[in-house]
Amino acid sequence: MDESKVLTDLETVSGTLLNSYIDEWKNQGKKVLGYNCSYFPEEIVHAAGLLPFRIRATGCTETTLADSFLARANCSFARACLEHLLQGRYDFLDAAIFVYSCDHMCTAHNSWKALGKLPLIENIISVPHTITEYGRKWYREEIGNIKEKIEEQFDVTITDDGLKAAIIACNETQRLQKRLYELRKGNSPPITGSQSLSVLVADSSMPKDEYNRLLRALIGKLETDEGVSGYDCRLMVSGSVIDNPAMLTIIEDSGGLVVSDTLCFGARRSFREPIREDGDPLDAIADRYYSQIQCPRMFDSYPERFDSALELARQANVEGVILQSIRNCDIHGIDNVMLERDFEKQGIPVLVLEREYDALADAGRIKTRVQAFLERIGA
């Protein structure tokens, strides 16, 4: 393997929806299942012999068609995903399944279902908004039902042995991703924040064994690489979904270096405890997914969510936090108010930034805000 090309390969995968790994997968007659949220357990899909693909809006710069179905009061990420559906950019998917992640994505799901352009697994997965023992049992029942629906949709059998093998592979991915974050804690990280996000996004759209192989090789190379220098400030980015590294590139072109995050394509899914590899596999999956993702949709978990974010910031020697949210993203907009207050109390400066999904469309304003923020920190 040419290790110098590994990062380029992963960046190529994350920069497009359809990639060479999916092409090869499909050419072998295998199926791809789309999903929309971190609360969906990809291990079940791997155990079914399918490729899980996290639905993202990469490359969408307008929502002309989607705006005929979704009001502009819905966040631009949900509308951008619907736009891709209407333009046929998800035609490589054999089916899709939605989690009730937020009201905006639920509304998008209703439009997807009404349009009938792509088979949808019947259930929309319901995840309670509070963490309780009753809620855990609810979620365990939900994913059990989804397992049966996937078996029915694709005429496959998902065995306990298959689930345990998928758990082991996904635990290995998480271990490698944590190592990537460890490398970013030093004074001269060997990888930028935008590059790191590309690596993490690629995980959602390629076979797990191939991804682990490439990530293992990349980490081996990074451990001997010369680090990044010449930046003005170490930053953490938190808030709404970012599946396009361009947002972080704008920040880093302004002089900052993103060394940590709490994003759902980043640390929010990587910094969980490994799934237990013994006992009932669905119980183990439910225990991890339900209580450890720390999304602001979980109304009563803010104290734990802030403590976790603060610990990540301190471990990475963060000098400032950028709390961004997509316009009309209620859960992150509200969460950012509390995070701003509590980070500032800890002496960590905060920039609160509202944006649309396509950050490049507003790159000038974002860059100006970030530059002013870095000047504040420097002062």
The pLDDT tens digits of the residues spanning 322-348 come to 999 999 999 999 999 999 999 999 999
The pLDDT tens digits of the residues spanning 41-88 come to 999 999 999 999 999 999 999 999 999 999 999 999 999 999 999 999
For residue 120 the two structure tokens come to: 């949808």
Return d(Cα 103, Cα 305) in angstroms, integer: 21
pTM: 0.95
pLDDT at site 1: 59
Return d(Cα 373, Cα 379) in angstroms, integer: 10
Between residues 2 and 164, which one has the greater pLDDT?
Answer: 164
pLDDT at site 291: 86
Q: In which order are the strands placed within the sheet that holds 233-239?
A: 256-261, 233-239, 320-326, 350-355
Average pLDDT, stretch 176-190? 95
Return d(Cα 125, Cα 70) in angstroms, integer: 21
The pLDDT tens digits of the residues spanning 270-308 come to 777 889 999 999 999 999 999 888 899 998 899 999 999
CA dihedral of residues 140, 145, 149, 155 (deg, nearest 10)? 80
Average pLDDT, stretch 113-131? 90
| Residue 226 pLDDT class (50, 70, 90 cuts) | confident
Give yes or no for a contact between 6 and 73, defined as CB atoms under 8 angstroms apart: no
